[in-house]
Amino acid sequence: MRYYDRIIHYSLWILTLIGLVFIFSGYTVPRLIYYLTYVEDTTYLLQAFKPFFNLLPMLLIGFAFYYGFIYSDKLEFFFERRTLGRKILKKLSRIRLGKFINILVWLTIFLMTIVWLEKFIFGLEVNRWLLGPQKKILITGLTVLSYYLFLAYQLAKDRINWQKVLGISCIYLFLLLMQPDVGTSILLLFSFVTLSFFRFFNLKKFVYFFYFLTSSIGVLSFFAILNANVKLQLPNLFEGTKFGHVIERINNWLDPFRDVTSSSYQLANSLYAVHRGGIDGVGFGFGYRKLYMGPTVHTDFIFATIGEETGFIFAVFIFGVTLVLLLRLLVISFRISNPFEKFFIILVAIETFLLSFINAGMAVNLIPSKGWPYPLISYAPFYVVFYIIQLGIVQFFVQKRFYEVY
């Protein structure tokens, strides 16, 4: 019998397959139709499948690590039967967990520093990629994974080295804001505050904190609905700077139809798409609002395509699967006694909640738009690989503490 959590496993596969289907619908289908109708050049046909050329190798890498964690005992047995394997295992056994996490953290900081320096070398206004000019190799997923491992390990100690925790956290936030990547900065800051709250307060107070958080988001969303007729706008004091887009996105949230030909065209078309989809959708591949949402139709605004083509019912199904995954992570974290493993799983649950809520919420204008992918569904090859690795680490913890979890 293989000791792993089936709920997490099947949720992972369901969301991944749904993502592949709607990436095909949002990106590939319109280009295939255009190719069959107007173009005879086969290179354009290959261009239609470009997301899959990038995504599928990343999924293979992610699932290789995922199943490697699940079958870690068999892999260890395989290596022990070979001379070279025994030497590798002997060297790996000498590396302590804390040392490995420190190496990973400083490697991440080094890579983020390269990303920051490339802005000046190549004269880029915004750069979040390791290969800046080509916009390739996004390291956001590695940043989140390394910080979560670091934060969980440090807060699991009886005597916390706050100087180290705050120092590394500030370095991460500084390098992210220099890119600038406000979204990931908010994610890491929120994760730090939430886990710190959980670390020093009992479960009852943590539940109250969660209620307060969800209520605050609800009030924010309700204000957005009431503001539909008022159309309040904020003065953009940061216009012309690298943070000017933040105020612009808030103003688009306050009035999504303020500039439908420029700054708010994606949000306006997303609302049109969800409205057109109704309860049961217009049918897979038959959505046409995706033609007007630009390059984010299969990434940030993939939920608009889902809402238009499959409607409210299927959207609720996706929410249900995500909620099952989220609740399962929380249940496992509360049952596991090891603090490091508990805290890491809580952080993965926080990430799952934030990314799914923000991505779906911005598609219907409940909250300001932010470039966050829906976990496992949005096209984000260099992010999804590390999210799958995170779930693989969770499965490794479940395997170690199987009789605690069950």
What's the number of CA atoms in the CB half-sphere (13 Å) around residue 302?
28
Residue 182 in this model has a pLDDT that exceeds 60: yes
Residue 327 in this model has a pLDDT that exceeds 70: yes
Q: Smallest Cα–Cα separation from 148: which of 340, 395, 403?
A: 340
pLDDT at 321: 93
3-state SS class at 138: strand
Within 10 A of 56 (CB to CB), how many other CB atoms are there? Answer: 13
pLDDT at 95: 66
Within 10 A of 17 (CB to CB), how many other CB atoms are there? Answer: 12
Return mean pLDDT, the chain. Answer: 82
Query: Dihedral of CA 69/302/147/162: which sign?
Result: negative
Distance separating alpha carbons of residues 349 and 77, to the nearest angstrom: 32
Q: Smallest Cα–Cα separation from 149: which of 406, 398, 386, 402?
A: 386
Report the pLDDT averaged over residues 386-398: 93
pLDDT at 242: 59
pLDDT at 388: 95
Under the banding of pLDDT at 50, 70 and 90, the label for residue 289 is confident
∠ Cα 329 330 331 (to 5°): 95
Better-predicted residue by pLDDT, 211 or 16? 16
For residue 329, give the amino acid letter: L
**Paired tokens of 9:** 């496993």
Q: Are 377 and 22 in contact (CB under 8 A)?
A: yes
Residue 179 in this model has a pLDDT that exceeds 60: yes
Distance separating alpha carbons of residues 406 and 403, to the nearest angstrom: 5
3-state SS class at 232: coil
3-state SS class at 362: helix
Q: Are 192 and 151 in contact (CB under 8 A)?
A: yes
pLDDT at 45: 79
pLDDT at 144: 93
Q: What is the pLDDT of residues 183-211, one digit of tens each?
A: 888 889 989 988 888 887 765 555 655 66
Better-predicted residue by pLDDT, 328 or 47? 328
Report the pLDDT averaged over residues 142-162: 91
- Burial of 233: CB neighbours in 10 Å, binned 0-12, 13-18, 19+: middle
Task: Please state, for a pLDDT cut of 90, what percent of the chain lies above it.
Answer: 26
pLDDT at 171: 93
Q: Are 192 and 169 in contact (CB under 8 A)?
A: yes
pLDDT at 104: 92
Q: What is the pLDDT of residues 90-110, one digit of tens each?
A: 666 666 788 889 999 999 999
Q: What is the pLDDT of residues 40-72, one digit of tens each?
A: 777 777 888 888 888 999 999 999 999 988 887
pLDDT at 288: 78
3-state SS class at 323: helix
Report the pLDDT averaged over residues 302-322: 89
Residues with Cβ within 8 Å of residue 387, at least 6 apart in sequence: 62, 141, 351, 375, 376
- Burial of 326: CB neighbours in 10 Å, binned 0-12, 13-18, 19+: buried
